[in-house]
C-alpha cells in the first residue's frame, strides 16, 4: 500500500493497517465502529466527498476570480474558507507494519 489512508468514513477515527497471511486488513480502531476493509482503495473511496470537493474547488475558483477583481465579499468569503480549513483539516495515516 502506497497511499495514505483516510480517516474512518463512519466515525472519523484513524484506521489501522496490518498485513498477515490472509492479506491486508484496514480497520477502524474505534471499538464501537468496527468497520473493516481488505482493500485500501475501497477504504479510501468517498464518492460524495469527491463530488463535494470538486464543487468546493469550483466555488473557490469563482471567489478567487472575483477577489482578484476587487470584490470585497469574495475576499471576505475566501478568508473565512481559509480560516475554516486551518482549524478543520482532514487527517490521514500511513502504513504501519
Rounded mean pLDDT, 82-89: 81
- How does pLDDT run across 37-76, given as a tens digit for each residue? 888 888 888 889 889 989 999 999 999 999 999 999 999 9
pTM (two decimals): 0.55
Confidence of residue 88 (pLDDT cuts 50, 70, 90): confident
Q: Percent of the chain having pLDDT more than 70?
A: 89
Residues 24-34 have a mean pLDDT of 86
Q: Are 57 and 37 in contact (CB under 8 A)?
A: no
Q: Is the pLDDT of residue 89 over 80?
A: no
Amino acid at each position: 500500500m502506497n497511499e495514505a489512508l483516510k480517516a474512518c468514513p463512519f466515525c472519523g477515527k484513524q484506521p489501522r493497517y496490518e498485513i498477515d497471511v490472509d492479506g491486508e486488513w484496514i480497520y477502524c480502531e474505534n471499538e464501537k465502529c468496527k468497520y473493516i476493509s481488505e482493500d485500501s482503495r475501497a477504504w479510501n473511496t468517498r464518492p460524495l466527498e469527491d463530488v463535494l470537493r470538486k464543487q468546493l474547488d469550483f466555488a473557490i475558483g469563482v471567489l478567487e476570480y472575483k477577489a482578484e477583481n476587487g470584490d470585497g465579499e469574495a475576499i471576505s468569503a475566501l478568508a473565512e474558507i481559509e480560516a475554516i480549513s486551518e482549524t478543520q483539516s482532514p487527517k490521514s495515516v500511513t502504513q504501519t507494519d
